[in-house]
Amino acid sequence: MAKRGETREKILSAAAQMAAERGISATAVDDIAAAAGVAKGSVYYNFGSKEGLYAELLGETLQRAGQRLRESLDTAVAGDAVRSVAEAFLRGLQEHPASSKVVAAELFRLDRPWRESLAEYRSLFFSMFAEALEKDDRPAGPANAAAIFGSTIMVGFERMLFADRLSLAEAVAAIEGAS
């Protein structure tokens, strides 16, 4: 059983890396299998299809991010919640850059089978940012939550592209300044 788990992780990692570089549409199952060092049949055995593979990759990435944000929000003290949640989100991007890029590329696509689950997570993230604003006793309407979430995403990807130019502390300060 451990071997199957290792194989799945290798496939997910290769799929994330390739889609981050090329996009999902331009990534073939043959290429994923070769990069993972497994037979093409292993991809189908573990995930059923390319769509199943990417649905699982996106789901795991978003679930991990949701757990990270929830833990951060639950432990944040009043007045520090927005900073804490934004920092947790940025750390997640830093720790999982390939899968984070795939999620970013897919977040607003309307023609994908995982569109509904992405929309649910986007709503969940908005609600956690709204909750952080409320905890900090700041205006927390949907537009304010979207603005903070959007700022966090953009600053996060700025860091991923030009990491040597923006520290985590500078990134969090920029998000706090925009809110």
**Could you tell me the mean pLDDT of each successive run of 10 residues in the chain, 179 residues long?**
80 96 95 97 96 94 94 96 95 91 84 85 91 94 91 88 79 84
Cα dist from 161 to 10, 56, 83, 148, whole Å = 24, 25, 22, 20
Residue 164 confidence (pLDDT): 66
Residue 46 confidence (pLDDT): 95
Fold designation for 54-178:
Tetracycline Repressor; domain 2 (1.10.357)
Backbone angles phi, psi at 111, to 5 degrees: -105, 20
Residue 11 confidence (pLDDT): 97
Fold designation for 1-48:
Arc Repressor Mutant, subunit A (1.10.10)
How many whole angstroms from its chain centre is CA 64? 8
Residue 114 confidence (pLDDT): 85
For the chain, the domains span: 1-48, 54-178
Query: 74: which 2 tokens?
Result: 């639950």
